[in-house]
Structure 1
Amino acid sequence: MHRTNSPVRSQFCRQSRMAELLPWLLPWLLATLLAVYFLDLRAHARRGLPPGPRPLPLIGNLHLLGDQPHRSLAGLAKIHGPLMSLRLGAVTTVVASSPEVAREFLQTHDAIFATRSVPDAIDAHARSSVVWLPNSSPSWRALRKIMARELFVPHRLDALRHLRREKVRQLVDHVGRLAGEDAAVDVGRAAFATVLNLLSGNIFSRDLTNLDDHGESKEFQELVTELMEAAGRPNLSDFYPAFAAADLQGCRRKAAKLIARLHRVFDEEIDGRLHDRRSGQPRKNDFLDLLLDSETTTGDKGSAGLDRDTLRSMLTDLFAAGSDTSSNTVEWAMTELLKNPVSMYKVCDELARVIGIRRNIEESEIGQLPYLQAVVKETFRLHPPAPLLLPRQAEVATKVIGYTIPKGARLLINIWAMGRDPNVWSEPEKFMPERFLEKTIDFKGGDFELIPFGAGRRICPGMPLAIRMMHMVLGSLLNQFEWKLPVEVEINGVDMAEKFGVTLIKAVPLCAIATPI
């Protein structure tokens, strides 16, 4: 009996001693944590980092981000300045919120900050992705060369112009059928399906979806949207890299499933094209043929090495980045025009005068439409597709406007804040395309007031195609139909809420009534 109860008594004694020691241990533990915290604050100051909010123990400044980081960071920049530093979990992060500071990082020190900071959710995909590979990688240089010199050069885009013209015609026919049924048009979904088919026409010479099949286009749109959200959602693995292997929020697992679904679509296209080649079918001379040619001619060391994984990654980059951002821009532009009837009248009047009523615009006519171009620029200013661009990191410690940016620090460029900076733009919250008629500002990376595609060596390589697609789709919709909001939306107002991810999408889709002109 004595031996049976002995372990119980021993355990009880240990618990009693712990209970007695706890009141003494807690103050020591608290004092240790506070000492570490204040030492870290002093070290933070000694490192010469840019100013920023004081970090809390363990979480740093994570509590300040919220579910709209671009807005939260813009608010903090008003307090701490256009170059500020935060500690997000265990990661030092610097944020640029003005054109002058952005130029320092993306032009003056571009080589040091050209490497992307890869979100843990898509780490496996990033290992063969032109979007995420480090710029020092031979694979990145070779893939970028293929995209810049083969896929998006003017003569290649011109050769496939007829495909884009046909997709815009199909969009107009689709909207015309809905108008005949007095049905509202889900502008974002129609634009997404059209841009998706514009891309697939350029890449595969066939459509991936049917505009009249709402289920099919909706499924692909949701797939891409969920992937962009998974990549951009705040993730503990990115803030505490030591715990990344655990994937505590399941972001990596979710992204892997989404990417696998995309890869199955692309595998069918690749396998079908390879079968056609073996059976002697004529070439289509589209993007896929070019990529498969690169696969067979770049097998030497140091080449792109377009194996199946690389092909999948490149196609994922093209479709995820191209379809989502371009269609979002069209939807935001239509939303702003419907809220601003004067701007709607001006752009429609220009189209009628220059192009002629009830005509789809041609790519060669975009340059004759300055107000339409101004509408697109103003939409980019207020609703940039990627509000924080894609994160970068410092390759080495460097001085930027007098502050030290340590090696490995993460860099965010808040172009959403830059687009609403009253020091740069008059009446920044107001939609005024006219501002771009008064001064020449481009969005191709040279004017840092407006850099929706980024700047420097990591500027979006698909920009030439995106520019053509957005102007053609938006201009043709405006020149073929009169648009108005449903009665209930007119009464209650348009919901302008945003949904944050890698891209900034409209939380409540825009549904509008089209009437043929």
Structure 2
Amino acid sequence: MFLTDYFVFSQPLYSLATGLIFLFEFNFLVTTIKRLFRLPSGPWGLPIVGYYPFLKDESYLEFDSLSKKYGPVYSLKLGQHDVVVICDWDHLKLAFADESLLDKPHELFFEGLIKYPSFAEMSGEHWRSHRRLSLHVLRDLGFGTSKMEEAISKEIQQFLPTISEGKVDFFEKLLPSVSNNISILLFGHNFKYSDPFKVDLDHNMDRVNRAFQFAGLSAFFPWLFKLSTFLGIFRMSVAYSHVLAVEGLLQKEIDKHQAESGKSEIDDYIDGYLVEQKNRQNKDENDQVYSMGVLRRNLTAFFAAGSETVTATLAWAMMYLVYNPEYQDKIRAEIAEVIGFDREPVYTDRNRMPFTMAYLNETQRIGSIIAVNLLRRASRDTKIGKYNIPKDTIVIFNLWSIHRDPKLWPEPEKFDPNRFLSEDGSKAVKLPYLVPFSGGKRICPGEGLANVETFLYLVNILQKYRVRCDPDVKLSFEATFGVSRRPKHSPPLIFEKIG
């Protein structure tokens, strides 16, 4: 006996059902055809979900693969969104300069679960206002000056002894140190590595960075993401739980600052934000643009970006130093000539250390830490070259494709710092299509800080240690991809003191 035997279906009901199915299929076909005329060509997907089921965790690899078939600019459907992917430098340059591609998707990173946007999720005047405030406050605090460099150098001297004993998990040791640098700007102080608050903060943020992807489930299926979080399935539910833990910890820092609201000096980003909030309230501008929720979200975004990118970059740098020990010798030769082994390095030393800078540039290229940029949204109809991008289309810059383009980088899979040196090797050359921090007006505001940190950490380490791993360890350069690309298999490293 079949299930249908329990029901009686009339001919009109059959006709209605058939008609509805036909209308659905017809509508899907018409919508798809209209889309083909409005957007660049690209792969077909499935009804409702589009091409999303065919994307894997390493979405940047699939985006790159599709560009080989459909061209450097193509479109695809991801959930309810039309998406245009840009995979070559000529069109990316145009996109960076296009004012209509500065906006962000309407959905938040955790749509339906978190109420407030961070500045990284804002568009228009709200984003510009927070960007102005952030840059103003951070510059007043010494961002990009010798004052900040001195604080980083002091932190590095605290970090170096932690890697000098036996075999160490470099990433695990490095993360609390790098995140201390951004802590000074955000909170006005750093932490001891054993501080329970800092241990919890680093742990939870690290779990978010491992699980979250900008081109992931929450971006294109917010309803499914919300359901999966409720049911506790998929890794995004894990990311969300750790985001809540991070925001709870950050609220404690905010509470401390509010308790000291009578002080006149601005010592950190939280102070500057609270002053701006009070000024707006005094002008009867008490809206949600500068709410406590937004402050927590901004702190989360700054802390994540300020710790993850530098840590991941240096993790790749150590891997390639172990694999190519001759590069350690070259960098150490520059250290001997320019700095010596007694004084601490300073950032201006980079101007006389071309191979060291070339090495860091090549690490950023081949590591492609941010393989896919934060999603953009077209605020109006526009064109990139010959390609139409209709209003509200989501735009993805696949930075991985730029950094692995054989037209720009001969033998792109080969790690070769010499590609960033002048012909005589006397100068480091920063090629314009090295874009590890994206570009245009929405370039990562922490680019300058990250460059100072990566230089000072690398040079300080090689000034004092030779880096190696056990000779029987086979290095793997596979990556794991969350917020950033990290080494998937990082062997324990051995840091041998020099002299």
The TM-score with structure 1 as length reference comes to 0.83
Out of 264, 267, 279, which is 1:285 matched to?
267
By how many angstroms is 1:396 displaced?
1.4
**Contact 1:385 1:452 (8 Å CA) reproduced:** yes
C-alpha distance in 1, partners of 2:234/2:95? 33
By how many angstroms is 1:15 displaced?
2.2
C-alpha distance in 2, partners of 1:12/1:467? 67
Out of 37, 42, 49, which is 2:33 matched to?
42
Distance 1:62 1:31, change over 3 A: same
By how many angstroms is 1:40 displaced?
3.7
Out of 94, 98, 102, which is 2:92 matched to?
102
C-alpha distance in 1, partners of 2:374/2:142? 29
Aligned to 2:340: 356
Alignment of 1:304-343 (within 5 A): 306-343=290-327
By how many angstroms is 1:486 displaced?
1.9
**SS at 1:487 equivalent:** coil
Structure 2: give runs of 5+ residues left out of the alignment.
none
Deviations 1:479-499 (A, max 9, x none): 11001112331xxx2122222
Distance 1:242 1:184, change over 3 A: closer
Alignment-mate amino acid for residue 136 of structure 2: R
Aligned to 1:207: 190
Out of 113, 132, 152, which is 2:121 matched to?
132
Distance 1:287 1:399, change over 3 A: closer
Distance 1:113 1:315, change over 3 A: same
Aligned to 2:387: 403
**SS at 2:495 equivalent:** strand
The answer to whether residue 291 in structure 2 is matched with residue 297 in structure 1 is: no
Aligned to 2:406: 422
The answer to whether residue 476 in structure 2 is matched with residue 495 in structure 1 is: yes
C-alpha distance in 2, partners of 1:483/1:144? 39
Alignment-mate amino acid for residue 115 of structure 1: D
The answer to whether residue 209 in structure 2 is matched with residue 228 in structure 1 is: yes
Structure 1: give runs of 5+ residues left out of the alignment.
1-10
C-alpha distance in 2, partners of 1:224/1:396? 35
Alignment-mate amino acid for residue 204 of structure 2: L
By how many angstroms is 1:118 displaced?
5.9
Q: Which moved more, 1:229-238 or 1:396-405?
A: 229-238
The answer to whether residue 54 in structure 2 is matched with residue 68 in structure 1 is: no
C-alpha distance in 2, partners of 1:475/1:385? 20
Out of 375, 390, 406, which is 2:359 matched to?
375
Alignment-mate amino acid for residue 509 of structure 1: S
**SS at 2:171 equivalent:** helix
Deviations 1:161-196 (A, max 9, x none): 3321211001112223x2xxxx21211122211111
C-alpha distance in 2, partners of 1:393/1:330? 32
C-alpha distance in 1, partners of 2:266/2:79? 50
By how many angstroms is 1:436 displaced?
0.8
By how many angstroms is 1:408 displaced?
1.2
**Contact 1:205 1:284 (8 Å CA) reproduced:** no
By how many angstroms is 1:321 displaced?
0.9
**SS at 1:509 equivalent:** coil
C-alpha distance in 2, partners of 1:382/1:502? 17
**SS at 1:389 equivalent:** coil
Out of 473, 489, 498, which is 1:508 matched to?
489
Distance 1:28 1:236, change over 3 A: farther
By how many angstroms is 1:224 displaced?
1.5
**Contact 1:360 1:472 (8 Å CA) reproduced:** no
C-alpha distance in 2, partners of 1:59/1:160? 47
**SS at 1:488 equivalent:** coil
By how many angstroms is 1:420 displaced?
0.4
Aligned to 1:81: 71
**SS at 2:101 equivalent:** coil
Distance 1:308 1:217, change over 3 A: closer
By how many angstroms is 1:515 displaced?
0.4
Alignment-mate amino acid for residue 160 of structure 2: V
By how many angstroms is 1:313 displaced?
2.2
Count of paired positions: 485
Aligned to 2:133: 146
C-alpha distance in 1, partners of 2:154/2:463? 16
Alignment-mate amino acid for residue 397 of structure 1: D
**Contact 1:393 1:411 (8 Å CA) reproduced:** yes
Larger Rg: 1
Distance 1:321 1:125, change over 3 A: farther
By how many angstroms is 1:153 displaced?
6.4
Aligned to 2:172: 189
Alignment-mate amino acid for residue 15 of structure 1: F
Distance 1:371 1:400, change over 3 A: same
C-alpha distance in 2, partners of 1:172/1:197? 14
Aligned to 1:6: none
Deviations 1:197-222 (A, max 9, x none): 12223333433351xx4998765444
**Contact 1:91 1:240 (8 Å CA) reproduced:** no
Instruction: Report the aligned-residue RMSD.
Output: 3.3
C-alpha distance in 2, partners of 1:464/1:12? 68
Aligned to 2:419: 435
By how many angstroms is 1:426 displaced?
0.9
By how many angstroms is 1:471 displaced?
1.1
